[in-house]
Copies of this chain bind each other. A is one copy, B any other.
Amino acid sequence: MNSALDTVFAALADPTRREILRMLLEDDMAVTDVAYPFAMSLAAISKHLAILAAAGLISQEKRGRVKWCKLEPDALRAASVWMQSFGQFEPVNLDAFEAFLAQELTPTELPEGAP
C-alpha cells in the first residue's frame, strides 16, 4: 500500500548507506569516490547506491565515464512527516508552521540566509 515509506526506511536501515548519504551531504561524488573509504568491493557500493536511488534518496547522472551521485533530501520528507505524526516530541501543527513561514519570509530573504 505504502511502498514509498517501505523503501525509504529500508534504505536508511543500513549503516553503510547512511554513511554514504552523510558523505553526499557535503558534495556530489562519483561512484568510485563514494566507495573509497569503505572496506568492501566497488560492486557492493554500486548496489547500495542503486538501493538509495530506488528509494529516491539520491539521483545519479552519468557524465562521460563517471556517474555522479547527488543527495536528494526531499525524499526524506514523507518519512519525516510520517514520523512526526507520532510526534509528541515534535508537537507543532504543520499548517500553522507553514503559515508562519509564509508570513515570516519576505521574498528577498530566503531561508538559509535569514539573519
Query: Which A residues contact B (CB, under 8 angstroms)?
Result: 1-3, 5-6, 9-10, 12-15, 18, 21-22, 25, 71, 73-74, 76-77, 79-80, 82-93, 96-97, 100-101, 104-105, 111-114
Contact = CB atoms under 8 A, between A and B. Distances in A.
Given A10-B13, A96-B104, A84 B91 contact: no
Q: Is the interface of A mostly helix, strand, loop or mixed?
A: helix
A83 B91 contact: no
Contacts of A83: 12, 76, 79-80, 83
Contact of A89 (B3, B14, B87, B113): B113
A100 to B, nearest CB: 5
Given A2-B15, A6-B14, A111 B84 contact: no
